């Protein structure tokens, strides 16, 4: 279905934007006059399409529009936050007043006032670079692609019994205006596909998940439905014959599907400067050696195909490539303007908000291990007994550096060769120990599209080459 849209001339749109800009500037100026050190309006118009397919039946087709604005104000050294579902001057002012009141309430007891690192306020208009805009694809095509995934999963193996698919395309037109004079119109688009597939055989059950995404609908050209179906169904079939791994510390190869999660969970979260400052295991460790010299890890906004590619973050800071670990040395953290000022560093463009309902937090973008020069065979060589960890199910980090990664597909390694599949299992380690155990990096590279939860959900990517680690804790029997 094509929803009918009123098409306006470019000149009309430009006039409307000028009007909106005037409104925002008026509201922001009023806040400054009433004692705000800094004020920001982040307005969004969102168009979302969601389709769920449950065992071949369409659960619902969702078509939704949302409008809203987030108002964030710094006054008396503290933040105030409020939202509104209307972009009229009256409602924006009301909401701004509420945010100002909140800032003043929080500011009463502040010992160390919040300061913001200086950035040059920019005016810019940013379009997403995509080949196929999801809004130009009709619902029927979208449904057909999902039904093909369902059909291909069932066809792959008779033992596959159940398929759940969640599809979403989310489009946001965001306008960010600050009291410092920034005015950025930025388009964001995400096309996301998730499947959960279950198989059964002789009372044995196994399942696997698959998650993929891009900024445009060309996703399904690069990842055709049949390819997605085969990738996830293959894991289910293997898991049905898998045996329980041995618990304890083992040598392992971490595959390209998992390595990014390791970068994200084992290092990324505790490199988010708000968490580092909250006493994470990396507090006070800048410029120190925390990993094997073969390890280089970065978080970049510039990898265009990644889910975390952004030109500006939600504080109007230009996105960049931030190196976190360079040859084993901790060289950088991910900042917003507040933590950058606190630590005397530069903001890195990591401040991101799920939507207009919430303020931006320090979030990862595309977090990756750098490539090495080992072939997969060379990584396998010399492993007497260990595990090849192929695909992940989820991960979680703790401030003390404890991380866990759920593995949904893994194989034994026996005398340098891949052996039997093993049942899904959790692995765990500690950043400061595990990164020292990386002794070789492969030359292939994989990138995974996913979501990260830190109170808010955020699209982010992670990736890297296969890695060999001397030991990692496997939660088996």
Partner 1 sequence: MSHIELCRKAVETARRIGAKEAEAFITGGRTVSVEIERGEIKTCSDVTDIGMAIRAITDGKRGFAYTNVLTREEVEKTAKQAVAASSASLRDKNWTQLPEKSRYQTVQKTYDKRILEVTSDRAVEFCQRIIGSCGEVDKRVLAAFGGAEVSNQQMACANSYGVEVEDRGTILVCSLATMARSETQVTPICVEFKASRTYDPDPEWVGKEAAKLASEALNVGKAEAGKFPVLLDPFALNSVLMFTLIESVKGDIVHRGRSILMEKVGKKIAAENISLHDDGTLAGGLYSGKADFEGVPRQKTPLIEGGTLRGFIYDNYWARLEKKWSTGNAGRGGGGLNLPAYCTVPSISPTNLRLEPGTASETELIREVKNGYYVRSVQGAHQSNPETGDFSVAITPAWRIEKGEIRHAVKGVMIAGNIYDLLNKIQLLGKETRQVGNLIAPKIVVSNLNVIAK
Report in angstroms how near the CB of residue 383 gets to partner 1 at its nearest: 19
Binds partner 1 (CB under 8 A): choice among 122, 130, 205, 343: 205
Taking phi over 0 as left and psi of -120 to 50 as alpha, with beta for the rest, 29 belongs to alpha
Report in angstroms how near the CB of residue 71 gets to partner 1 at its nearest: 10
Report in angstroms how near the CB of residue 99 gets to partner 1 at its nearest: 7
Here the contacts of 447-451 (C-beta below 8 Å, separation 24 or greater) are 447/260, 447/303, 447/305, 447/306, 447/366, 447/368, 448/211, 448/257, 448/260, 448/261, 448/392, 449/192, 449/211, 449/212, 449/213, 449/214, 449/306, 449/307, 450/211, 450/261, 450/307, 451/211
Report in angstroms how near the CB of residue 49 gets to partner 1 at its nearest: 9
Strand 248-254 to 385-397 pairing: parallel
Binds partner 1 (CB under 8 A): choice among 16, 35, 86, 293: 86
Based on the shown chain and the rule CB under 8 A, indicate whether residue 139 belongs to the binding site for partner 1. Answer: yes
| Cβ atoms within 10 Å, residue 45 | 16
Nearer to partner 1, 122 or 143 (CB): 143
Based on the shown chain and the rule CB under 8 A, indicate whether residue 324 belongs to the binding site for partner 1. Answer: no
Based on the shown chain and the rule CB under 8 A, indicate whether residue 476 belongs to the binding site for partner 1. Answer: yes
Nearer to partner 1, 296 or 424 (CB): 424
Based on the shown chain and the rule CB under 8 A, indicate whether residue 85 belongs to the binding site for partner 1. Answer: yes
Based on the shown chain and the rule CB under 8 A, indicate whether residue 66 belongs to the binding site for partner 1. Answer: yes
Nearer to partner 1, 232 or 281 (CB): 281
Q: Of 108, 111, 86, whose CA–CA distance to 96 is shortest? A: 86
Interactions with partner 1, residue window 411-430 (CB under 8 A): 423-426, 428-430
Report in angstroms how near the CB of residue 471 gets to partner 1 at its nearest: 8
| Sign of the alpha-carbon dihedral angle for 90, 96, 97, 98 | positive
Give how far Cα 35 sits from Cα of 7, 266, 283, 288, Å.
41, 42, 34, 42
Report in angstroms how near the CB of residue 115 gets to partner 1 at its nearest: 12
Report in angstroms how near the CB of residue 307 gets to partner 1 at its nearest: 13
Based on the shown chain and the rule CB under 8 A, indicate whether residue 88 belongs to the binding site for partner 1. Answer: no
Binds partner 1 (CB under 8 A): choice among 67, 89, 321, 470: 67
Binds partner 1 (CB under 8 A): choice among 34, 37, 230, 456: 456
* Widest Cα–Cα separation across the chain: 73
Q: How far does Cα 302 stand from its chain's mean position?
A: 14
Report in angstroms how near the CB of residue 377 gets to partner 1 at its nearest: 29
Contacts of 279 (CB under 8 A, 6+ apart): 399
Report in angstroms how near the CB of residue 237 gets to partner 1 at its nearest: 15
Contacts of 10 (CB under 8 A, 6+ apart): none
Interactions with partner 1, residue window 89-118 (CB under 8 A): 98-99, 101-103, 105-106, 108-112, 114
Interactions with partner 1, residue window 350-409 (CB under 8 A): 354, 357, 359, 393-396, 398-402, 404-406
Based on the shown chain and the rule CB under 8 A, indicate whether residue 65 belongs to the binding site for partner 1. Answer: yes
Report in angstroms how near the CB of residue 297 gets to partner 1 at its nearest: 20
Measure the CA–CA gap between 138 and 156, rounded to whole angstroms.
Answer: 28
Nearer to partner 1, 89 or 98 (CB): 98
Can you spell out the DSSP letters for 397-452? E-TTSEEEEEEEEEEEEETTEEEEEE--EEEEEEHHHHGGGEEEEBS--EEEEEEE
Nearer to partner 1, 170 or 440 (CB): 170
Stretch that binds partner 1, among 165-173, 222-230, 289-297, 325-333 (CB under 8 A): 165-173
The count of chain residues that interact with partner 1, using the rule CB under 8 A, is 97
Helix (H, G, I), strand (E, B) or coil at 167: strand
Binds partner 1 (CB under 8 A): choice among 35, 90, 181, 248: 248
Q: Are 114 and 79 in contact (CB under 8 A)?
A: yes
Window 22-61: contact mask with partner 1 (x via CB under 8 A):
--------------------------x-x-x-xx-xxxxx
Q: For the chain, what is the radius of gyration of the CA atoms?
A: 24
Q: Of 467, 382, 464, 377, whose CA–CA distance to 429 is shortest? A: 467
Taking phi over 0 as left and psi of -120 to 50 as alpha, with beta for the rest, 145 belongs to alpha
Report in angstroms how near the CB of residue 86 gets to partner 1 at its nearest: 7
Based on the shown chain and the rule CB under 8 A, indicate whether residue 140 belongs to the binding site for partner 1. Answer: yes
Nearer to partner 1, 323 or 473 (CB): 473
Based on the shown chain and the rule CB under 8 A, indicate whether residue 83 belongs to the binding site for partner 1. Answer: yes
Based on the shown chain and the rule CB under 8 A, indicate whether residue 5 belongs to the binding site for partner 1. Answer: no
Window 263-302: contact mask with partner 1 (x via CB under 8 A):
-----------x--xxxxx-x-------------------
| Cβ atoms within 10 Å, residue 357 | 13
What token pair was written down for 36?
A: 């705000």
Measure the CA–CA gap between 220 and 142, rounded to whole angstroms.
Answer: 10
């Amino acid at each position: 279905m094509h929803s009918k849209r009123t098409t306006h001339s470019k000149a009309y749109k430009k006039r409307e934007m000028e009007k909106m800009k005037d409104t925002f500037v008026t509201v922001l100026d009023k806040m400054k006059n009433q004692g705000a050190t800094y004020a920001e309006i982040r307005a969004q118009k969102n168009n979302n399409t969601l389709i769920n397919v449950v065992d071949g039946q369409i659960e619902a087709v969702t078509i939704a529009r949302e409008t809203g604005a987030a108002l964030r104000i710094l006054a008396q050294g503290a933040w105030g936050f409020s939202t509104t579902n209307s972009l009229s001057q009256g409602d924006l002012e009301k909401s701004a007043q509420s945010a100002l009141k909140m800032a003043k309430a929080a500011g009463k007891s502040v010992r160390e006032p919040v300061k913001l690192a200086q950035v040059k306020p920019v005016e810019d208009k940013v379009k997403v670079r995509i080949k196929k805009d999801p809004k130009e694809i009709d619902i029927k095509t979208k449904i057909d692609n999902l039904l093909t995934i369902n059909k291909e999963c069932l066809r792959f193996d008779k033992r596959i019994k159940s398929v759940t698919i969640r599809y979403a395309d989310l489009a946001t037109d965001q306008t960010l205006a600050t009291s410092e004079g920034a005015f950025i119109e930025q388009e964001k688009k995400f096309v996301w596909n998730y499947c959960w597939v279950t198989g059964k055989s002789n009372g044995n059950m196994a399942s696997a998940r698959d998650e993929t995404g891009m900024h445009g609908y060309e996703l399904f050209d690069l990842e055709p439905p049949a390819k997605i179906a085969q990738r996830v169904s293959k894991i289910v079939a293997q898991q049905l014959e898998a045996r329980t791994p041995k618990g304890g510390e083992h040598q392992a190869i971490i595959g390209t599907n998992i390595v990014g999660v390791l970068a994200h969970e084992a290092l990324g979260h505790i490199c988010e400067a708000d968490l580092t400052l909250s006493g994470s295991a990396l507090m006070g460790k800048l410029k120190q050696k925390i990993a094997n010299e073969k390890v280089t890890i970065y978080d970049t906004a510039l990898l265009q195909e990644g889910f975390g590619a952004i030109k500006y973050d939600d504080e109007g800071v230009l996105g960049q490539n931030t190196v976190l670990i360079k040859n084993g040395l901790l060289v950088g953290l991910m900042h917003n303007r507040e933590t950058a000022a606190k630590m005397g560093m530069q903001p890195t463009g990591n401040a991101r908000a799920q939507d207009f309902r919430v303020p931006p937090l320090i979030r990862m973008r595309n977090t990756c291990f750098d490539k090495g020069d080992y072939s997969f065979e060379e990584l396998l060589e010399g492993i007497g007994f260990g595990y090849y960890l192929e695909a992940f199910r989820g991960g979680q980090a703790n401030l003390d550096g404890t991380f866990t990664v759920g593995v949904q597909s893994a194989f034994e390694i026996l005398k340098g060769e891949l052996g039997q599949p093993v049942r899904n299992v959790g692995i765990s380690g500690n950043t400061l120990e595990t990164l020292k155990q990386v002794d070789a990096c492969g030359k292939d590279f994989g990138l995974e599209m996913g979501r990260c939860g830190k109170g808010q959900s955020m699209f982010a990517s992670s990736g890297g080459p296969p890695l060999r680690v001397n030991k990692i804790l496997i939660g088996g029997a």
